[in-house]
Amino acid sequence: MIDRETIRRILDAADIVDVVSEFVTLRKAGVNYKGLCPFHNERTPSFVVSPSKQFCKCFSCGKGGNVVHFIMEHEQMTYPEALKWLARRYGIEVKERELTAEERMAESERESLFILNEWARDYFTDTLLHHPDGQAVGMAYFRQRGFRDDTIRKFQLGYSLPARDALARAALAKGYRREYLVKTGLCYETEDGRLLDRYHGRVIFPVHTVSGKVVAFGGRVMNTGAKVAKYVNSPESEIYHKSNELYGLYLAKHAIVKQGRCFLVEGYTDVISMHQSGVENVVASSGTSLTEGQIRLIHRFTEHITVLYDGDMAGIKASLRGIDMLLREGMNVKVLLLPDGDDPDSFARKHTAEEFQQYIDQHQTDFIRFKTNLLLADCGDDPVKRAGLITDIVRSIAAIPDAIVRQMYVRECAAMMAVDERLVVDAVAKQQRAEREAQDKARQRQAEAKTEPAPSAETDEAPPAAVAETVSSATTAATTIGAEERLLMQLVVRYGELTAGTVDDGEGGERPVSVIEYIASDLAAEELTLRTPLFARMLAEAVQHLGEPGFRAMDYFMQHPDAEVSRMAAALATDRYQLSRYHFRQRAAGPELPVEQLMEESPLNDRNRLGELAPRLLMDFKYAVVKDELAGLLRRMRSPETAADPDACTRLMKRYMDLAGVERELARALGDRVVTL
């Protein structure tokens, strides 16, 4: 486990703008930076990075935190993995205490898979560069493709020996576990228990994440006469999901940002040859249909994409629907058709970067125009085919989110197809209505699935309608308790060590009391505890460490060795919240803040009114607890067992009436104040 002091040094050294900029295109927005959220699909930037607070936050999906949490979420790393990633980046030595046997057993399997992939990459590369078979077969192939030695090293290309178990034996000899060799897809097991190499006798193309970690491999067969697949790729695994990866993006991302455009090709060698020719802002879908995850990856770095085709009409038509997805995401899509007989690989090898770029500038065309011309050439004068063409084009135009751009395409395509513009407008509107209705139905089905009552464990039947109101009431009360707990813990994390007021010191004087002490002692006096285990644990730790010199709740929890605690602290620190009705009124009186200012919003009134907010939030929590108990009592009184026991019913009723009185008193004290998260 990484010690707290090392975590502190990592957080002090890491600059969140510097780190996030490696994955997201950020633009200055006042004192902050803003870009498209990397965690969900969006067209309008709502992801804000605050250099002063060293926090990031998406004000649409809510994800964010400090620099460690960003790396965890973006790269799907564990807490220790993200800390080590940052430590390597900033040259910080990571000190870890000796793990217990239980902790060693719980070590991240993901990290083991990444480590094994890195070893395999080095094994394949070393075989290519130094083994006689690698030189004679692998290097001969790459040089025949025109790849220079520096390009081969840049893309970490390799070779797998023809022996069916060469890598397996080498990995086992190094101490790597058999199960991990299978899980990464480097090897597979036969029915008789043998462990065989997946890529034997193939040249190897490592696939990297956007941060440079090896997640998968592609292997091309060298024996052209063999009746096997030309390419073999890694299977899906815990660390590899092909729909979320693009070959070459790790090496292309800076060029994409600099050039303001991304070129999309199909295969590994297309990317490598274009890089070698000097066109580096290029990625490949690696032979798979374009996915939403891949589109989001590109959209983080640019809105402009050019798709390169090699003249194969059948392949072009098969990929058109995938490009509609790009349009739907608000991307500006162009198409480049290469000369007959050329693919991006062969064309790049024949031309310099300047010639390639000149050809692109002269021949790339807008996708809608390209698609219209392509389909018009097929249908000729056949009216039925032309009607189908209009439907197909309309589907693409309807996918464009910008109304002005959409209208321009409507006008141009109507002219190209020689039809009345109003017909195209009506068809686009009809297509959009159909898509909205389909989306609404899908959302309705999801909502119904979420709200459908759970079946009874005994009868598999839904709960009777008579208790539906009680179940709903209890659920609402429990939800409210969680919300009030969260507000209490926001106060603890943000201002826990600050003074909330004074109390009698027992000697006729007064002593200051902190927010942490005030909340903890009040809950203890009422024999109440926080219902959320993590919140209860965090409050207990805050009480335990409150007296330590220099204790600051925010720093303590953000630098916590436990990832769950650290992430919750970040969430509580960045939540946009309203602690009191007075705060709400002050906010409502002014204009709505733009997204880029929200990270800098400093609730000074909250800090100055801790003596008022702490008791009010505690009262909210107590009120929610009483409501929850009332709902539970009502549920019990309505049960058949209670109805058959008059004495039990009387006791429950008395308790209910007593609590109802407490509820009224609390409601009177709270007045009309509303707390919202």
8 A C-beta contact, residue 491 and residue 617: yes
For 377, other C-beta atoms within 10 Å of its C-beta total 9
The reported pLDDT for the residue numbered 376 is 77
**Residue 164, exposed/middle/buried by CB under 10 A (0-12, 13-18, 19+)?**
middle
Low-confidence ranges of the chain (pLDDT < 70): 1, 76, 96-108, 224-226, 287-288, 311-315, 317-319, 321, 380-381, 446-480, 505, 575-608, 671-677
Residues 599-605: contacts with CB within 8 Å, 24+ apart?
A: 599/32, 599/48, 599/49, 599/50, 599/53, 599/55, 599/57, 599/574, 600/30, 600/31, 600/32, 600/50, 600/52, 600/53, 601/576, 603/579
Architecture of the domain defined by 109-240: Alpha-Beta Complex (3.90)
- Phi then psi for residue 586, to 5 deg, are -65, -40
Q: Closest by alpha carbon to 154, among 263, 266, 248? A: 248
Instruction: Give residue 97's identity as a one-letter amino acid code.
Output: R
C-alpha 93/C-alpha 239 separation (Å) is: 26
C-alpha 187/C-alpha 234 separation (Å) is: 10
Q: Pseudo-torsion of CA 182, 186, 189, 190, nearest 10°?
A: 160
C-alpha 285/C-alpha 347 separation (Å) is: 19
8 A C-beta contact, residue 304 and residue 259: no
Pairing state of beta strands 195-197 and 187-189?
Answer: antiparallel
The reported pLDDT for the residue numbered 156 is 95
Please report the DSSP string for 255-275 in residue order.
Answer: HHHHHT-EEEESSHHHHHHHH
C-alpha 19/C-alpha 17 separation (Å) is: 6
Q: Closest by alpha carbon to 356, among 312, 308, 296, 324? A: 308
For 147, other C-beta atoms within 10 Å of its C-beta total 21
Angle at 79 between CA 517 and CA 563, to 5 degrees: 20
8 A C-beta contact, residue 80 and residue 108: yes
Q: Closest by alpha carbon to 146, among 41, 16, 276, 29? A: 276
C-alpha 450/C-alpha 169 separation (Å) is: 50
For 668, other C-beta atoms within 10 Å of its C-beta total 8
The reported pLDDT for the residue numbered 479 is 59
Written as six digits, the tokens of 601 are: 């919003």
8 A C-beta contact, residue 488 and residue 480: no
Q: Closest by alpha carbon to 133, among 39, 201, 193, 232? A: 201
**What is the assigned CATH class of domain 4-104?**
alpha beta
Sketch the domain layout of the chain as residue ranges: 4-104, 109-240, 249-428, 468-670
Cα 540 to the center of its chain, rounded Å: 32
C-alpha 320/C-alpha 467 separation (Å) is: 53
For 189, other C-beta atoms within 10 Å of its C-beta total 14
The pLDDT tens digits of the residues spanning 127-181 come to 999 999 999 999 999 999 999 999 999 999 999 999 999 999 999 999 999 999 9
**Residue 221, exposed/middle/buried by CB under 10 A (0-12, 13-18, 19+)?**
middle
8 A C-beta contact, residue 186 and residue 123: no
For 662, other C-beta atoms within 10 Å of its C-beta total 15
- The DSSP bridge partners found for residue 369 are none
CATH topology match: 109-240 vs 249-428? no
The reported pLDDT for the residue numbered 637 is 79
Written as six digits, the tokens of 396 are: 């693409």
The pLDDT tens digits of the residues spanning 85-116 come to 999 888 888 876 665 555 554 456 777 888 99
- Phi then psi for residue 651, to 5 deg, are -65, -45
CATH of 249-428, one of 3.90.1280.10, 3.40.1360.10, 2.60.40.790, 3.10.20.600: 3.40.1360.10
Helix H, strand E, coil C: the string for 192-236 is: CCCEEECCCCEEEEEEECCCCCEEEEEEEECCCCCCCCCEEECCC
Q: Closest by alpha carbon to 89, among 199, 15, 189? A: 15
8 A C-beta contact, residue 167 and residue 174: no
C-alpha 425/C-alpha 415 separation (Å) is: 13
The reported pLDDT for the residue numbered 294 is 85
Helix H, strand E, coil C: the string for 148-173 is: CHHHHHHCCCEECCCCCCHHHHHHHH
